[in-house]
Amino acid sequence: MIRLYQSKTSSSSWRVRIALALKSLPYESVWIDLAAGEHLAEPYARIAATRQVPALETDGTILTQSVAIIEYLDEVCVAPPLMPSGSLARARVRAVVELINAGIQPMHNIAVRRRLAAQFSASDADGAGWARYWIETRFAALDRLIAGCAGAFACGDEVTMADVFLYPQVMASRQFSVELAAFPAISKVMDRLAQIPAFRGSHPPEG
């Protein structure tokens, strides 16, 4: 049995939803409301030491951090593989994953925007401007990385973990009015990913 603790507003949770769909793994969802601070209180705070989503429960064990969760799923459920076979190709996938996971998502995480408000009296508009600045700056680098791979998808002609991270990151960027037209390589890959059921069907439920 797999249980995914996730939030409708979390791009990191979305990555795991896509990976589970690509692997055709059935699971149960527990929705955590980040805006209401549900992740910071019991019982979730006891479940995930990080007090962040996602967390994946499998065989009575809790896993946190989407990179660790998705790598675990890729190891225990090999088809379809989310990492290419060559060392160089794997390094390229990890570069995209790392750029999104460490270089982009943390900059617009709700906890960071709340801290900007609490410590520097930043308004919602200030927080959104901050998020947009970092996303656009790092998307410029991401676009070059993806263009350099010159494949149908983010890192070649097969769907990889890079695409699993890219799709929710672009979706999350919409709330900060990031214009995707400025990033042609990302736009092209997004058009292709939107045709794939595991991506198209991964959007969070309304409400």
Ligand X SMILES: N[C@@H](CCC(=O)N[C@@H](CS)C(=O)NCC(=O)O)C(=O)O
Kindly list the residues in this chain that would bind ligand X in the complex (CB under 6 A): 10-12, 34, 39, 51-54, 65-67, 101, 109-111
Q: Which segments of the chain does DSSP mark as H helices, in order?
A: 11-22, 44-47, 66-76, 87-98, 105-108, 110-120, 124-149, 161-173, 184-193, 197-200
Residue 181 Cβ, how far from ligand X at the closest point, in Å? Answer: 25
Q: Among 157, 165, 164, 152, which residue's Cα sits nearest to residue 192? A: 152
Residue 195 Cβ, how far from ligand X at the closest point, in Å? Answer: 25
The label of the residue with tokens 């805006």 reads: 35
Give the span between the Cα atoms of 33 and 168, in whole angstroms.
18
Give the span between the Cα atoms of 164 and 171, in whole angstroms.
12
Nearer to ligand X, 44 or 185 (CB): 44
Nearer to ligand X, 10 or 202 (CB): 10
Nearer to ligand X, 17 or 39 (CB): 39
Residue 10 Cβ, how far from ligand X at the closest point, in Å? Answer: 4
Q: Is the dihedral of CA 30, 32, 33, 37 positive or negative?
A: positive
Residue 21 Cβ, how far from ligand X at the closest point, in Å? Answer: 17
Nearer to ligand X, 174 or 197 (CB): 174
Residue with nearest beta carbon to ligand X: 52
Residue 66 Cβ, how far from ligand X at the closest point, in Å? Answer: 3
Nearer to ligand X, 52 or 173 (CB): 52
